[in-house]
Amino acid sequence: MGREKLEVRKDQQKLTKKGGFNNRLFKIKLLGAVWFGKVLIVFTRILGRGGTTLPGRAALRIEPGLSSALTARLAEGSLVITGTNGKTTTSALITGMLKEAGFSCIHNQSGSNMSWGVASALIGSTSWSAYPVGDCAVMEVDEGAFPGVVKGIKPRGVVVTNIYRDQLDRYGEIDLIKNSIKIGLEVQPTDGFQVINADDPSLVGIADNSKTKRWTYGLELDLPVDQFQTGGRDIKTCPRCHKKLAYDKIYFAHIGHYHCPFCSYKRPEPDVKLVNRTINPDGTALLQISLPGENFELNFPLIGTYNLYNILAAVTCAKALAIPTAFIIKASEKAVPSFGRMELFEFNGKKITMALIKNPVGANEVLRTLLAQKNRIKLLVAINDKIADGTDVSWLWDVDFEQLVAIKDNLSTIIVSGLRAWDMAVRLKYAGFNPDQIKVEEDTAMAIVQTLEQSTPEEMLFILPTYTAMLEIRRHLNKMGLGKPYWED
């Protein structure tokens, strides 16, 4: 990719010529939508809100083709990252690699990933004359919104991280998610590329009739397996013949090296592989990555097996974009936790980690990170059931909170908060915790204050919120002088 500007895609040029920017009414509506959206962004941020939803919703009502029109004006096109878990961190890593290579990126770093979140991010980085201020757009996109966004903005690259059960009120079981991603991949322009996780059996073979170039990535590591690591497995049978899958290696849930003993369905040989990991004394990991004709190492600071997949997805995307290895390494080694994803804060010498939980597999991996901590732990769990969280909280019963019982003597009082605080309290009781160890405080602001007051500098405070609870808590932390609103980063 280098510093050389890529040609504007032919399909984007067609948009410009055919009733697009040369159409007077379209120009007026586009300008009006951008202006109105920008005013709403300023207004919502004055109120202390992120401006990630309302501006985009309103602008799309004025001009539904806004996102398509703005991304068509980007010299380097756009990238879309989708999947159940890992979208935010993977898109942040890709953005960092592009910036290191000298490109200016528009990125919806807040995690607002519906069509209006994409529109809001574009409007926020667009001039008053409706020209995006950037070379490219890197957008994480909700799985359900994926087909519509892909059809609209025609991304040159798509990254699919994984598929798990998520937001049962919206998706039901994973077949609906898989079908949504399949449709999106099939409508992507054929002159682009796709990056697919080879270790997820639900993704291999998806949209095989797509003529878009495909890259795959996967782990080639021997990692210890515990009884909780294989919990929450959403894929148990072969997607082709529907008989039981067999595994040679399993990393978590249904992710690993699989094959069907009854038909030819199996994990393909990945194009990009993580072949070795060494934990450094400072806690970072030295990763050895292999791809055809090249091997290189990088020091990666983010913890957790799931982040190994995130960095591998980002590296694969960067290689598909022909970004030089030196820039990939430099950006990876400067990586920091994304918005609400193992995000770190410090208050009066007390260390705070905030880790979003939203489905069984992701929550289990966060809990396994807690188990690895040597310090005494203070825990705040905040559960909301708003639309953005998913209104069905039955997924809490599929999370292996039982694994925390093994370290309950290392846990001080657990505070539960949010709209469904009592549901969480009941879940912890049935996981094996004494009710006296569980304190309910439904108000998240009060929960934060109480948790900080009761914790000591020797303890590690973990906050595990759902999405809207995370936004609430982050605003409380910002008011206390911890961190900054995402738009000021």
> Residue 427: pLDDT above 70?
yes
Which is higher by pLDDT, 338 or 387?
Answer: 387
Do residues 236 and 378 both lie within one domain? no
Same-domain status, 130 and 188: yes
Instruction: Please say if the pLDDT value at position 293 is more than 80.
Output: yes
Amino acid 177: pLDDT: 86
Clarify whether residues 124 and 235 are in a common domain. yes
Ranges 20-29, 83-92, 164-173: which has the least confidence:
164-173
Q: Is residue 377 part of a domain?
A: yes
Same domain as 281, residue 426: no
Reply yes or no on whether the pLDDT at 424 is more than 90. yes
pTM: 0.84
CATH number at residue 345: 3.90.190.20
Q: Say which residue, 225 or 6, is predicted with more confidence.
A: 225
Rounded average pLDDT over 73-92: 93
In the structure, what pLDDT confidence band is assigned to residue 126 with cuts at 50, 70 and 90? very high
**Among 283, 312, 333, where does a domain finish?**
333
Asked which of 333, 349, 384 is the last residue of a domain, the reply is: 333
CB-CB neighbours of 31 under 10 Å:
15
pLDDT at 13: 41
- 125 with 236, same domain: the answer is yes
* pLDDT of the residue at 446: 92
State the average pLDDT over residues 231-244: 77
pLDDT confidence of residue 305:
84
Instruction: State whether 24 and 146 are in the same domain.
Output: yes
Flag the least confident range among 60-64, 117-121, 449-453: 449-453
Asked whether residue 320 is assigned to any structural domain, the reply reads yes
Q: 3-class secondary structure for the chain?
A: CCCCCCCCCHHHHHHHHCCCCCCHHHHHHHHHHHHHHHHHHHHHHHCCCCCCCHHHHHHHHHCCCHHHHHHHCCCCCEEEEECCCCHHHHHHHHHHHHHHCCCCEEECCCCCCCHHHHHHHHHHCECCCCCECCCEEEEECCCCCHHHHHHHHCCCEEEECCCCCCCHHHHCCHHHHHHHHHHHHHHCCCCCEEEEECCCCCCCCCCCCCCCEEEEEEECCCCCCCCCCCCCCCCCECCCCCCECEEEEEEECCEEEEECCCCCCECCCCCEEEEEEEECCCCCEEEEEEECCEEEEEEECCCCHHHHHHHHHHHHHHHHCCCCHHHHHHHHHCCCCCCCEEEEEEECCEEEEEECCCCHHHHHHHHHHHHCCCCEEEEEEECCCCCCCCCCCHHHHHCCHHHHHHHHHHEEEEEEECCCHHHHHHHHHHHCCCHHHEEECCCHHHHHHHHHHHCCCCEEEEEEECHHHHHHHHHHHHHCCCCCCHHHC
**What mean pLDDT, rounded, does the chain reach?**
86
Clarify whether residues 419 and 462 are in a common domain: yes
Region 264-289: mean pLDDT is: 91
Domain boundary among 301, 333, 365: 333
User: Are residues 446 and 472 both part of a single domain?
Assistant: yes
**Mean pLDDT value of segment 17-23:** 52
Same-domain pairing of 325 and 365: no
Q: How far apart are CA 405 and CA 427, in angstroms?
A: 12
Question: Does 167 score more than 60 pLDDT?
Answer: no
- Give the residue numbers spanning the domain of 464: 341-488
Quote the pLDDT of residue 340. Answer: 66
pLDDT > 70 fraction of the chain, expressed in percent and rounded:
89
Contact 290, 194 (CB under 8 A): no
Asked if the structure places residue 4 within a domain, the reply is no
**Residue 15: pLDDT band with limits 50, 70, 90:** very low
pLDDT over 80 (residue 235): no
Domain identity same for 188 and 289: yes
Q: What is the pLDDT of residues 168-221, one digit of tens each?
A: 445 446 788 888 999 999 999 999 999 999 999 989 888 787 888 999 999 999
Q: What is the pLDDT of residue 486?
A: 54
Split at pLDDT 50, 70, 90, the class of 478 is: confident
- Whether residue 1 has pLDDT greater than 80: no
| pLDDT value of position 337 | 78
Mean pLDDT value of segment 121-150: 93
| 231, pLDDT greater than 60 | no
